[in-house]
Structure 1
Amino acid sequence: MANTRFDADRAAELRAELADELRAQGKIVTRAVEDAIRRVPRERFMPSDTDLAVAYGSDNSVITKRDEHGVAISSVSAAYIQARMLEQAELRPGMTVLEVGSGGLNAAYIAEIVGPEGRVVSVDIDPDVTDRAAGLLEKNGYGTRVLVLVADAEHGVPDEGPFDAIIVTVGAWDIAPPLLGQLRDNGTLVLPLIMNAVTRTIGFRREVDHLASTSLEVAGFVPMQGDGRHPDRVFLLPDSEGRNVRLSFDSGIPEEMSQLDAILATERTERWSGVTIKHGVSFADLHLWFAWFLPGFCRIAADEGTELAAERGWFPFGVVRRAGFAYLAVRPALEGEGVEFGARTYGPDGEQAAAAMIEQIQAWDRGGRHTEPKFGYWPADSDHSRIPAGTAVMPKTHGVISISWSS
């Protein structure tokens, strides 16, 4: 009993420290979200062997289920992104809110914010996940405040809604029309939207026939399952020792990928952009810029022992041009206070691949690095002629996404 009391006291201390930290970071900006973070016992929604320090780390996600291949398919999101998404949703007392992707903890936070006059519905496609979430919510006093259902949100939630806010806690490649149809006029939708393999958690507000972004956050999530799932296409580049570099394409797969066979056996060259950045400064929007404006863009993973995996300071983004492959690299700059961006490349068309990447690094430096982009989501049945001129668009199954960077 003494140890239990000590753990409860320690958890309360860590909960208060977490709320203070998130407030200082700007992830919490309203009293309602702060109160929810302070009230809900975060550790009770984690696996029983989770250390309190892990449960209350602001940047720690905790996996709750893996598939047969060991891939994470359900998790408790990091505290910083949970707080941020709650803020992005602009929740108020009395609202009806849908959560897509159950775990229990986030639904408890939502229930605290919308209060006893509000309504919370949490859905997941996996009965194991919903059973766990419903049990934890019941055990911790939220059983009558949150309805947990098994459903594939790609088809909406039958007999529920409309919703004042929808919060999606799994990576979504597109927005399903039945789900969007359950959002009230002027309602908010917060979701981690996958755009050419790069994810941003976007807060959208419904405006007549489309969605307009109100906020943006960098985060990663387990991908959506069910009919909304959109798996990447993966190609292997073997080296001379049989180890592989994997290139993952969300869309826009280059033709004749066979031209890259044995490309890692060619001499590697490099090219530098002249664009620098100081240590400790985020350049996450460079990745987003690549995803939108660099044809042949891909994500990279490398087996241990390959030249790419062994190289210090490389980043997992690349580009393919015919028989050329280049990847983002850095070298020391600014008298040791920062780095310069560049491209290292392989293959007979490697120079073209590197030139394409360098061109977009420089374009980002001119037009993207100092501003936050604005997004729109335009369903297939909306008036696409209203998309502002000069705005880039990315096609999806059920509509298009627009993006604009204003210098």
Structure 2
Amino acid sequence: MPEKTEETRAAELRDQVVNELIADGAITSDAVADVLRTVPRHLFTPEASLEDAYSAYNAVITKRDGSGSAVSSVSAPQIQAFMLEQAGIRPGMRVLEIGSGGLNAAYLATLAGGAGEVTTVDIDPEVTDRASRLLKENGYPQVRVVTADAHQGVPDHAPYDRIIVTVGAWDIPPAWTNQLTEHGRIVVPLRMRGLMRSVALQRVGDHLFSTSARICGFVPMQGAGARESRVLLPTGTDEIALRFDDGLPTDPSLLDNAVRTPRVEIWTGVRVKRGVPVDSLQLYLATVLPGFCTMALEPALDTGLVAPYNKRFSLAAVSGDGRDFAYVTPRPAIGDDTHFEYGVHALGPGATGFAEEVAEHLRDWDRDHRDGPGPRITVHPAGTPDDRMSAPADARIIEKEHSRIALSWSTVPAADQDIPHHTTEEEGE
């Protein structure tokens, strides 16, 4: 039997990855399935082997900075597929992609067809040179490639029916909303309290409503839209880092004595099957805990002061008086090796009370929200008064430089029922 050619093998791998993504729900339409079967992904990822190029859940890193951190990549097929589904590209649409790689622009151009227009923009000339070359070499010369800081969008070719952002964004600048058509949609990996979700947002006037949200991971935005989180190292230990996305507590020194108190542990009875994502739990705690943050532990300095299941990432929070901190951690459920049980560990003079407070939120999520649609997310311009925001009174408001983002777990107001909403919980890259 003659050996398979590279193209034959690549076609088989494309079919394989599409079938896999249909099975796990990332692909739900014939249009997205067809485009992933058709466009030769491996030709846009020459850095990778065929098998690595067509790995369903792994990105291909295309550029690193001096410290070795990824600054540009071709996202995993799973991520690209569900973002294309979120976007709902139809023939004839005008589309802006923020963050270039070449491959995704080829997908967009195929979906938009000959009557559509695709513009892709990136701040890094090395990235746009690469994208431009690969697009031309592989039959997509119609894609417009622009080198610019996309914080201001690309006004020369606006308005856009769809804007697809393929880098992690801390905020949504006014230009992005203003450059959408009246009923246009933006799909953006949005960072909310340190948690990133690919959110599909529909424009209604000067604000945006979510239609879906998916867990994801992306390299961070560069340029004017870059925003670093703040890290707090409680005095008395070098092993614990608390990371805050929207600024440190008012008086970080109040935590100085927390690590000198015994650790309190409370187990909640809340069980989750192993391997099942807890996306909605993460967002729920980020919504209801004012001092929400994430905790990472330096393994080389681990003294056992804290004992998280995941040393690199745990949901955490600082108490209202700033003197205690707690983190959420699972353990194998007693007598059931198919499930985890969630608990709360806390340190500080008021650790017992704070641990109980966080544990009660876990139980509230388990009782009222774990099987629900997830939060309603709305985005209004910064400065919009509370009574002018299209969000329930109980919504958690996250203040950004250019926007006010509201997360609500209440029933969607009747006036917004014409805009569909769902959240799918899947692991991202």
State whether TM-score is above 0.5: yes
Q: What amino acid does structure 1 have at the position aligned with 2:31?
A: A
* 1:379 aligned partner: 381
Q: Which residue of 2 aligns with 1:31?
A: 30
CA distance in 2 between counterparts of 1:239 and 1:53 reads 47
The one-letter code matched in structure 1 to 2:100 is: S
Contact 1:276 1:334 in 2 (8 A): no
Alignment correspondent of 1:231: 228
How far off is 1:281 after superposition?
A: 2.4
Asked if the contact 2:60/2:73 (under 8 Å) is kept, the reply is yes
Identity, % of aligned positions: 46
The gaps in structure 2 that reach 5 residues or longer are: 412-429
Pair 1:109–1:327, CA change in 2 (3 A): same
Q: Whole-Å Cα distance in 2 between the matches of residues 308 and 139 of structure 1?
A: 56
Report 1:48-63 matches (<5 A).
Answer: 48=47, 50-63=48-61
Q: Is the 8 A contact 1:294 1:356 kept in 2?
A: no
| Corresponding residue of 1:390 | 393
Residues 136-155 of structure 1: pairs in structure 2 closer than 5 A: 136-142=134-140, 144-155=141-152
1:77-116 residue pairs with structure 2 within 5 A?
77-116=75-114
Q: Which residue of 2 aligns with 1:117?
A: 115
Matched residue type, 1:14: L
Q: Which deviates more from structure 2 when the two are superposed, residues 310-319 or residues 115-124?
A: 310-319
Offset, 1:404? 2.4
Contact 2:232 2:248 in 1 (8 A): no
What is the rounded CA distance, in whole Å, between the counterparts of 1:57 and 1:309 in structure 2? 36
Partner letter of residue 398 of structure 2?
M
* Structure-2-length-normalised TM-score: 0.87
Structure 2 counterpart of 1:268: 263
Please give the TM-score of this superposition, normalised by the length of structure 1.
0.92
Matched, 1:198 2:182: no
1:344 is aligned to 345
Equivalent residue pairs, number: 401
Q: Looking at both structures, which has the greater relative contact order when contacts are Cα pairs under 8 Å and sequence separation is at least 6? A: 2
* Matches of 2:280 and 2:37, distance apart in 1: 32
Counterpart Cα distance in 2 of 1:390 and 1:381? 17
Partner of residue 163 from structure 1, selected from 141, 160, 175 = 160
Aligned CA distance change for structure 1 residues 257 and 111 (closer, same or farther; 3 Å): same
Alpha-carbon distance in structure 2 between the residues aligned to 1:16 and 1:257:
53
- 1:279 deviates by 2.3
Q: Given the superposition, is the C-alpha separation of residues 252 and 350 from structure 1 closer, same or farther in structure 2, using an over 3 Å criterion?
A: farther
Deviates more, 1:68-77 or 1:188-197: 68-77
Maintained 8 Å contact 2:314/2:329: no
Shift of 1:264: 4.0
Could you tell me how far apart the structure 2 residues matched to 1:111 and 1:278 are? 40
Structure 1 partner of 2:419: none
**Correspondence for 1:332:** 332
Q: RMSD of aligned C-alpha atoms? A: 2.3
